[in-house]
Amino acid sequence: MIHFVLLISRQGKVRLTKWYSPYTQKERTKVIRELSGMILTRGPKLCNFVEWRGYKVVYKRYASLYFCMCIDQDDNELEVLEIIHHYVEILDRYFGSVCELDLIFNFHKAYYILDELVIAGELQESSKKTVARLIAAQDSLVEAAKEEASSISNIIAQATK
């Protein structure tokens, strides 16, 4: 299973963290510090796996961002590597050529999308189309609620004019 997902920028800034196994705040900080030290320093042509404390961390760099997922020792590494890519493709489709800035200012979207992709540390949906559809549906629900709210406040505003 995936124990946690980390998005770290090349400068070591954390862009997203998601923990599927219980870690305390202190442990989380420690894990992030340790792993960014290990992963950010790795050269470009090395393999995408790092052995760490009896676990494996599968990571891949996309432009300035490192996507990391920590898995058990006997999990299938390549499968997880492609979960990462799958996630990136979906982000890319959603934002339209995604960049780090998108993920900084819309970090909540990155979380929503990840939730549609992975639950309990396991892949939930492997169809990009389905994920895109569900996220769009969420967005429209939020929009609808906003419009409703503004129309109500309009009515109130007009009524109290």
Is residue 153 near other proteins by the rule CB under 8 A? no
Q: Does 50 bind other proteins (CB under 8 A)?
A: yes
97 lies in the binding site for other proteins (CB under 8 A):
no
DSSP state of 12: S
Report the C-alpha gap between 123 and 116 in whole angstroms: 9
Q: Find how far residue 27's CA is from the centre of its chain.
A: 20
- With 0-12 / 13-18 / 19 or more C-beta atoms within 10 angstroms meaning exposed / middle / buried, residue 89 is middle
Question: To 10 degrees, the CA torsion angle through 58, 112, 137, 118?
Answer: 40
| 41 contacts other proteins (rule: CB under 8 A) | no
Closest to other proteins by CB, 16 or 40: 16
Q: Is 51 in the site for other proteins (CB under 8 A)?
A: yes
Per DSSP, the three-state class of 4 is: strand
The minimum distance between CB 159 and other proteins, in angstroms, equals 19
126 binds other proteins (CB under 8 A): yes
Q: Are strands 122-123 and 65-71 parallel, antiparallel or unpaired?
A: unpaired
Q: Is 40 in the site for other proteins (CB under 8 A)?
A: no
Binding site for other proteins (CB under 8 A): 13-27, 29-30, 32, 42-43, 45-51, 53-54, 73, 76-79, 81-83, 85-86, 95, 102, 104-108, 111-112, 115, 119-120, 122-130, 134, 137-138, 141-142, 145-146
